[in-house]
Structure 1
């Protein structure tokens, strides 16, 4: 009898709200300029990543393992920009901070899924540079289109499962305390912390995902470049070393644009007291800026893409 009463009381106390209120973007000073910047960021990200995707798909010379990685990164950037920024713009244009329960979970899934793909892709590109510089004679035997395609297929599947599991476990939480999310999107951390029942599984998954998609990728990338520097120390000429290092510049810029803002936010959050608005703005920039910067970096620093663009414009000029 006691167990029946307990189960009834638990069912009564379980609360699943119809909607959530995104509170992170309210009260921002000079919000008009913030949203104008977001809009420009979104347009550049969509056009830039679409152009990279079309260029790689259209040009046969770019159908190589390295550019399969670049294609995946551009696809992840394109997806993240569309999952994140339009919802933020809706808040400004229609003065609507509300989002339905199911739409909130969908927003969380797509933002986190494409973000995890960005981190994972940079690790694969680091592996590509590691093999190219440390094992140059075996590069074409180890890194093939088939191998890289299989690696990315496995990564897409694994990340989708991990993010889907993380998002689905939100359904077990009871939001009887509040439905106000202190973030600029349906963020996992602020959401599970609002629950009034046991959220230990959600806490564990949050820490696991931080390790899998922030700490582990950074460690693997750093280790790959330690090996690269060790291999370059054996190269006798400075010209040879610089030539090899130049092939890594683009990747290092991409790594910096994605990981440095996140690390700075964590560092400042632990050492200083940031205002809620400052934290939201800096966090939103760390999500929104990399999809805008990445295609620019690749177009400006990749000889193959620049050569293809030159050829395209030459062919057009001849036709006209």
Structure 2
């Protein structure tokens, strides 16, 4: 579709899986569908286990349940549309749907980073100031941190969405991606995108790096505190409680930085798609396994959920 201004563009075409041979498309469809179902089931089970087990009504599990809910939303923003387009044999997405999808991606990505930072602070207080944990990490503080994260994330998403909505798209409407991401959209625009790119590199960097710095600072203090523990077993136990969180942080921030904080000239469609699949599909799918496999309390709560459901059936 070609036009002369933004108003003439009524839809974009998401190539998604269509650039692959037919046989690979079918395999990728089954793979993405399986990963999406595992993501939804795994994360909802964690939310259910935490909400039904009174022993898990603590700040750490409160933040984890919020993270699991965000992961379900994150995957649901992109994967169902891609799977639906594949089934229908269509690649189109309307201009308004595209902006809406981009808005939720921005909001949920920032929420994920904020929740990871809040969880790092929770671990810092629990390990470095255990005697003051109940007075420092209160229910009121937990609620304020989550509400503040939501507010900031929504403002960030609104900023980038409005900046994209003002652009003109007058030539190509084909997006070489499986969802409406900012970088591919900016490449399609025939108007000046310097302000958009500046906001990504300044405001976007600030809102992403700030939680990362908080995480890094928390773990520096945690490491210093743990290294002062006299017994090797005690040090290993303290570090093991943070291992799951560190794995998720590394996976999330590694892929985010690879996509959004490299010069635009270094971007390629294949690299961007691989990185975005990691943080929008793979990471949300792995989070339930990472957090539950070595967590006896959460594993016990999940077992109780399965037993209760089995007996009720």
Structure 1 residues 209 and 84: alpha-carbon distance in aligned structure 2, compared to 1, 3 A threshold: farther
- Distance of 1:319 and 1:124 partners within structure 2: 37
Name 2:6's counterpart in structure 1: 15
The CA deviation at 1:181 is: 2.0
- Distance of 1:212 and 1:177 partners within structure 2: 33
- Look at both structures and tell me which one has the larger radius of gyration over its CA atoms: 1
- Distance of 2:281 and 2:173 partners within structure 1: 25
Q: Which runs of 5+ in 1 are unaligned?
A: 1-11
Alignment map for 1:1-320 (pairs within 5 Å):
14-16=5-7, 17-29=9-21, 30-263=24-257, 276-277=269-270, 279-312=272-305
- Distance of 1:190 and 1:230 partners within structure 2: 43
Residues 124 and 221 of structure 2 are in contact (CA less than 8 Å); yes or no, is this contact kept in structure 1? yes
The CA deviation at 1:66 is: 0.7
The CA deviation at 1:97 is: 1.0
Structure 1 residues 318 and 215: alpha-carbon distance in aligned structure 2, compared to 1, 3 A threshold: closer
- Distance of 1:28 and 1:308 partners within structure 2: 42
Residues 105 and 167 of structure 1 are in contact (CA less than 8 Å); yes or no, is this contact kept in structure 2? yes
Structure 1 residues 44 and 318: alpha-carbon distance in aligned structure 2, compared to 1, 3 A threshold: closer
The CA deviation at 1:261 is: 3.8
Aligned residues: 307
Residues 106 and 156 of structure 2 are in contact (CA less than 8 Å); yes or no, is this contact kept in structure 1? no
User: Quick check: 206-215 or 83-92, which moved more?
Assistant: 206-215
The CA deviation at 1:199 is: 2.2
Name 1:5's counterpart in structure 2: none
Offset from partner CA, 1:233-275 (integer Å, 9 cap, x none) = 22222122112112112211222332334456689x88xx896
- Distance of 2:307 and 2:16 partners within structure 1: 48
- Distance of 1:140 and 1:207 partners within structure 2: 38
- Distance of 1:54 and 1:319 partners within structure 2: 16
The CA deviation at 1:220 is: 2.4
Structure 1 residues 319 and 33: alpha-carbon distance in aligned structure 2, compared to 1, 3 A threshold: closer
Offset from partner CA, 1:176-204 (integer Å, 9 cap, x none) = 23222232211112212322223222112
CA RMSD of aligned residues (A): 2.7
The CA deviation at 1:278 is: 5.3
Residues 112 and 163 of structure 1 are in contact (CA less than 8 Å); yes or no, is this contact kept in structure 2? yes
- Distance of 1:280 and 1:24 partners within structure 2: 9
The CA deviation at 1:95 is: 1.8
- Distance of 1:105 and 1:266 partners within structure 2: 18
